[in-house]
Amino acid sequence: MSKTPIFTGSCTAIVTPYTQNGIDYKKFGELIEHQYAGGTSAILVCGTTGENPTHSEEEHNTLVEYCIKKTAGRMKVIVGVGANNTEHALQMSVHAKDAGADGLLMVTPYYNKTSQKGLIEHFSYVADRVSCPMILYNVPSRTGIGISPKTYKALSAHPNICGVKEASGNIAEYAMSRALCGDDLVFWSGNDSDTLPMMALGAYGVISVASNIIPDAVSKLCSLCLDGDFRAATEHYFVYADFFEKLFIETNPMPLKAAMNLAGMNVGKPRLPLVDISDANREILIASMQKIGLSVSL
């Protein structure tokens, strides 16, 4: 069955701005407006970049509801519902669907990592019970388990599993997955640095970290690829390639929040166990920001 993408182009895995007292919803609203002005197609709320593992259930639910209300249908909203507890993932999925989300993003279970058979049953259990379209999230560097091409093929038969945020960094394995699944599973890049080669092999866009700070540039990269102008897309990509890399000089979203604060966006510090980046890496990040013309407030 041919699947329809929830969005095409750039989806921002949006940060969660904090104050000492909790989540800064006024700033969160400003960030959403910044995304809309930059041509972003969708917002991923409560993802890894949003530091969702540090949120209480109340914070998670309020963020989801606020984001959906604030976007007001102008951009698609996808909700991170991944957990290593299948029933908890289902509960978050039901809330997201009831709140009006356009899609769910469900990462592979971490720590109590399972087999490929277990992945199929875990994802299918939730997809069987919630009608909101599901995007699988493959990021083995964080979770310790990857989704194999054969598992993608098996899951592509589920009518409610729409696609994949592919962040393994393994382009050859991604190509094999595309060959096996065809149009039965939609793929998006899960790494800014992989957007160009993955879109050349049929991905519909990127779920991006960098677009938090340069939404217009990431949106343009996706548009050029979707238009099939890969020569122009390559030239555009080369401008930002170093910045894409430097945003991962330490664990995401620590460098991203540092960059946003340096750019005057005032999103607050990351929550423990994440911390500010080192002074040495901060200087490297500043140089990369200045290279692409971002103003830096020291």
**137 is an active site residue:** yes
Q: What per-residue confidence (pLDDT) applies to 123?
A: 98
Q: What is the CA radius of gyration of the chain?
A: 18
Per-residue pLDDT, 200: 98
Residue with tokens 């990592």: 113
Residue 242 token pair: 């170093």
Fold assignment, 9-232: TIM Barrel (3.20.20)
pLDDT digits (tens, 9 = 90+) for 242-258: 999 999 999 999 999 99
Residue 71 tokens, joined: 């976007």
Selecting among 137, 174, 204, 240, the annotated active-site residue is 137
CA distances from 203 to 99, 188, 196, 261, 294 (A): 28, 5, 9, 31, 28
Catalytic residue selected from 3, 27, 97, 165 = 165
298: pLDDT confidence band, cut at 50, 70 and 90? confident
pLDDT band at 240 (very low <50, low <70, confident <90, very high): very high
Q: How far apart are CA 266 and CA 75, in angstroms?
A: 23
What are 122-176's pLDDT values in tens digits? 999 999 999 999 999 999 999 999 999 999 999 999 999 999 999 999 999 999 9
Give the span between the Cα atoms of 275 and 219, in whole angstroms.
29
205, 221 contact by CB (below 8 A): no
Per the prediction, the chain carries an average pLDDT of 97
Angle at 60 between CA 58 and CA 63, to 5 degrees: 105
| C-alpha distance from residue 184 to each of 72, 154, 245 (Å) | 29, 10, 31
The pLDDT value recorded for residue 85 is: 96
Report how far residue 225's alpha carbon sits from residue 236's, in angstroms, rounded to the nearest whole number: 10
What pLDDT is recorded for position 297? 86
117 included as an active-site residue: no
What does the domain layout of the chain look like in residue ranges? 9-232
- Quick: pLDDT tens for 215-239: 999 999 999 999 999 999 999 999 9
